[in-house]
Chains A and B, each alone.
Chain A
């Protein structure tokens, strides 16, 4: 079965610097990847769809890419408010798969 691996369970970034969160799977580049942000005690929110499209209201500092075996979420100029858990997600035939999550800490 298809599995998504977020290799780094936690990532730290200095305020204003760039954070990169990855999601790996065999042939993930052939799928559309979504990313969700979840802050403590809140529901997840969609921050990226179709690999690199931002929903309305999501800041431009969030960007995404997907190729080969890896999808990437990049946060340029990380803000304190970006501290959260981030999950990747794909649709595989008749099931939805989430990655295990990456906790972003902004120092």
Chain B
């Protein structure tokens, strides 16, 4: 059974930093593209970032480019998101998601999410 367990969320002041983690199990972690998707309160999902199985390719939404860094440790089956220069508009539940890239790019498994609140 695929399981994704996020951690690291919390309250941070504007301009601050936070590191999210996602522990994966139930599949060959290193074989799959992984992604972060966030959802602001009352809004729809918004894709944030993705990383290839080996970690060599990374993609970012324009809204986070230059501030967020996605990485992974395949030896630990763990995905990370380093977030810097946080803004109020980054407040959201952040989901870790396993990506299916067969003929498309979509999220076949999601974690339960971790809440990030940017507020003074």
Partners in one complex: yes
Query: Is residue B100 within 8 Å, beta carbon to beta carbon, of the partner chain?
Result: yes
Q: Is the CB of A43 within 8 A of B112?
A: yes
Q: Is the CB of A46 within 8 A of B45?
A: no
Residues of A within 8 A of B (CB): 31-32, 34, 36, 42-46, 49-50, 55, 85, 87, 89-91, 94-101
A97 partner residues in chain B, CB cutoff 8 A = 47
Nearest residue in B to A94 (C-beta to C-beta)?
B59
Q: Of A42, A55, A96, A101, which one neighbours B108 at CB under 8 angstroms?
A: A55
Within 8 A of A (CB), among B87-110: 95, 100, 103-110
Q: Of B50, B61, B104, B113, which one neighbours A50 at CB under 8 angstroms?
A: B104
Q: Is the CB of A98 within 8 A of B45?
A: yes
Query: Is residue B28 within 8 Å, beta carbon to beta carbon, of the partner chain?
Result: no
In the complex, per-residue mask of B19-52: 1 if CB is within 8 Å of any chain A CB, else 0: 0000000000000000101000000111100100
A50 partner residues in chain B, CB cutoff 8 A = 103-104
With A32-B103, A49-B100 as known contacts, state yes or no: A98 contacts B108, CB within 8 Å.
Answer: no
Query: Is residue B111 within 8 Å, beta carbon to beta carbon, of the partner chain?
Result: yes
B109 partner residues in chain A, CB cutoff 8 A = 46
Nearest residue in A to B50 (C-beta to C-beta)?
A96
With A49-B100, A98-B46 as known contacts, state yes or no: A34 contacts B106, CB within 8 Å.
Answer: yes
With A44-B45, A87-B45 as known contacts, state yes or no: A96 contacts B110, CB within 8 Å.
Answer: no
With A44-B110, A46-B107, A55-B108 as known contacts, state yes or no: A96 contacts B47, CB within 8 Å.
Answer: yes
A89 partner residues in chain B, CB cutoff 8 A = 45, 106-107
With A34-B106, A89-B106, A94-B59 as known contacts, state yes or no: A43 contacts B44, CB within 8 Å.
Answer: no
